[in-house]
């Protein structure tokens, strides 16, 4: 095992996140309605979310210093999201407010088995404008830049290009899945995809860890340095040049799978930034995600480093 992962005093991870901020409207119900049908929900909650916000919180709760670049509306939801991030120690200096545009919203329907269905209204996320000089200054001091696909394509490309100039490695979670331009692949240090995203990018059905490894190697061939394919209850496969490892997930009770992937990514990135090897960071991240799915909500369910350690 990498010696840095057992240190009682790991170096402080510094992570920048460019991504979405949403207020999650969470409906708990016995089953989702069929077309034209109305069903009664058991509960309704408003909870902080958005992939960018979730991943920033996951990094912060694992001890990273996090700077978030995002956008909210000049409304109550926007203020609530910023306050929640600040309570977790996330810097919101570069979270802009846009008058006349609502904060992003996600309506999440959660069934008794923990599976969910999500509909996202981008709102202010669609109008995100990156302050390039500020981003470059932050990236010059960061171990990693984390990106997802809940912000405009132009913003993701701009962030990738700034990271290249700053010499900051990029972790990309291409969710929700959409086409990745060929020029982007070599700019990505670590690609984190679930089995559906891996299949979409490679055309390979992902039905086993072996198939996941094969798909990951196909993605490595495009220029990515390391690839992690998450497989839900099965665990995850980590592949880099010359090495591949499968890490099973513990069997746990599922309450809500919302933010499980974001928790995984944040925990993994923080450990990588502290100096852990990929094969050591991934099982830690699986444990974090396993705790996440045992609680309801997005950010409220993200565990701390101490909870994962315990």
Q: In Å, how far from its chain's centre is CA 291?
A: 16
258's CB contacts (< 8 A; 6+ apart) are 24, 26, 49, 108, 110, 116, 118, 296, 297, 298, 301
User: Residue 42: phi, psi to the nearest 5?
Assistant: -85, -25
Alpha helices in 95-244 (DSSP H): 132-139, 153-166, 195-202, 209-220
Radius of gyration of the chain (CA): 18
Are the beta carbons of 258 and 110 closer than 8 angstroms? yes
User: Residue 76: phi, psi to the nearest 5?
Assistant: -65, -40
Of 143, 256, 262, 280, catalytic: 262
Among residues 122, 132, 173, the alpha carbon closest in space to that of 152 is found at 122
Are the beta carbons of 173 and 145 closer than 8 angstroms? no
Query: What is the token pair recorded at 270?
Result: 């923080």
Calculate the alpha carbon distances from 174 to 28, 106, 194, 284, 309 in Å.
27, 18, 9, 21, 28
Q: Is 43 labeled as catalytic in the residue annotation?
A: no
Q: Which residues partner with 47 through β-bridges?
A: 24
Let me know if 228 is exposed, middle or buried by CB neighbors in 10 A (0-12, 13-18, 19+). Answer: buried
Residues annotated as part of the active site = 262
């Amino acid at each position: 095992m990498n010696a840095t992962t057992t240190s009682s005093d790991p170096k402080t991870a510094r992570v920048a996140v460019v991504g979405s901020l949403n207020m999650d409207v969470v409906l708990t119900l016995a089953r989702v309605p069929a077309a034209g049908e109305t069903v009664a929900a058991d509960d309704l909650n408003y909870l902080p979310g958005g992939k960018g916000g979730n991943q920033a919180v996951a990094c912060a709760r694992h001890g990273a210093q996090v700077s978030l670049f995002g956008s909210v509306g000049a409304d109550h939801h926007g203020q609530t999201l910023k306050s929640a991030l600040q309570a977790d120690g996330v810097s919101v200096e570069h979270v802009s407010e846009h008058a006349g545009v609502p904060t992003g919203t996600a309506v999440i329907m959660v069934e008794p088995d923990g599976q969910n269905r999500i509909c996202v209204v981008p709102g202010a996320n669609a109008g995100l404008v990156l302050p390039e000089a500020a981003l470059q200054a932050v990236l010059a001091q960061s171990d990693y830049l984390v990106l997802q696909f809940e912000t405009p394509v132009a913003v993701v490309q701009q962030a990738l290009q700034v990271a290249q100039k700053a010499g900051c490695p990029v972790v990309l979670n291409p969710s929700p899945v959409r086409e990745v331009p060929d020029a982007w692949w070599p700019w990505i240090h670590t690609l984190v995809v679930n089995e559906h995203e891996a299949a979409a990018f490679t055309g390979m059905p992902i039905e086993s860890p072996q198939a996941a490894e094969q798909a990951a190697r196909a993605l490595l061939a495009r220029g990515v340095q390391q690839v992690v394919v998450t497989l839900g209850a099965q665990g995850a496969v980590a592949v880099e040049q010359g090495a591949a490892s499968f890490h099973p997930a513990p069997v746990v009770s599922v309450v809500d799978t919302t933010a499980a992937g974001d928790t995984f990514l944040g925990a993994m990135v923080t450990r990588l930034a502290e100096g852990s090897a990929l094969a050591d960071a991934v099982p830690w991240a699986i444990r974090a995600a396993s705790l996440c799915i045992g609680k309801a909500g997005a950010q409220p369910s993200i565990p701390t480093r101490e909870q994962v350690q315990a």
